[in-house]
């Protein structure tokens, strides 16, 4: 007697797959810059061509309001240009926190893990053009050559 094989549904851990249910239900309502800071050394402009900036994405978090059908995603970003050595010297630091406001058409079928995946992937992806513009314009305001942030790759 042969047994019939029945496929077993395994919950996905793929962030792309987890983010899809949310991305199908949201629309961006607003993006704001909630916090920013910058600093440079007097040597920054001279060494900028010799060192590649490092970009850090801090802990992205979100707040979902199912009754109000809204989702807020907070995306903190930082760019650092550091001179290597025994004691690394930070010559440029530009940081910004963006808050993204989304309207959610329906929360049906959306779990916390879906919201986390959406916030960490789509939230950063949606904030990235604003981050790129902020870094480039802030660098010029700091008396530095424009710093072009690369496209965000997922």
Both structure tokens of 47: 């060494």
Q: Report pTM.
A: 0.87
Q: What is the DSSP letter of 1?
A: -
Q: Which domains does the chain have, with CATH numbers?
A: 28-141 (3.10.420.10)
Ordered DSSP codes for 21-89: HHHTTEEEEEEEEEEEEEEE-TTHHHHGGGS--EEEE---EEEEETTTTEEEEEEEEEEEEEE-SSS-E
Write the pLDDT tens digit of every residue in 15-26.
899 999 999 999
More confident residue, 48 or 130: 130
- What integer is the mean pLDDT of 115-122? 96
pLDDT-based confidence at residue 11 (cuts at 50, 70, 90):
low
Q: What is the pLDDT of residue 88?
A: 86
Q: Are 79 and 149 in contact (CB under 8 A)?
A: yes
Sign of the torsion formed by the C-alpha atoms of 80, 94, 134 and 19: positive
Write the pLDDT tens digit of every residue in 72-94.
999 999 999 998 878 889 999 99
């Amino acid at each position: 007697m042969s047994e019939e094989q029945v496929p077993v549904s395994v919950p996905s851990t793929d962030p792309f797959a987890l983010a899809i249910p949310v991305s199908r239900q949201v629309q961006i309502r607003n993006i704001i810059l909630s916090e920013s800071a910058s600093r440079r050394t007097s040597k920054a402009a001279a060494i900028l061509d010799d060192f590649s900036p490092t970009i850090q994405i801090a802990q992205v978090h979100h707040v979902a309001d199912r009754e109000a059908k809204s989702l807020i995603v907070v995306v903190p970003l930082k760019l650092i240009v550091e001179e290597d050595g025994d004691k690394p010297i930070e010559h440029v630091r530009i940081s910004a926190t963006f808050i993204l406001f989304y309207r959610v058409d329906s929360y049906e079928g959306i779990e916390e893990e879906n919201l986390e995946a959406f916030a960490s992937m789509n939230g950063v992806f949606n904030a990235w053009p604003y981050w790129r513009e902020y870094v480039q314009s802030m660098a010029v305001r700091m008396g530095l050559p424009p710093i072009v942030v690369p496209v965000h790759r997922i």
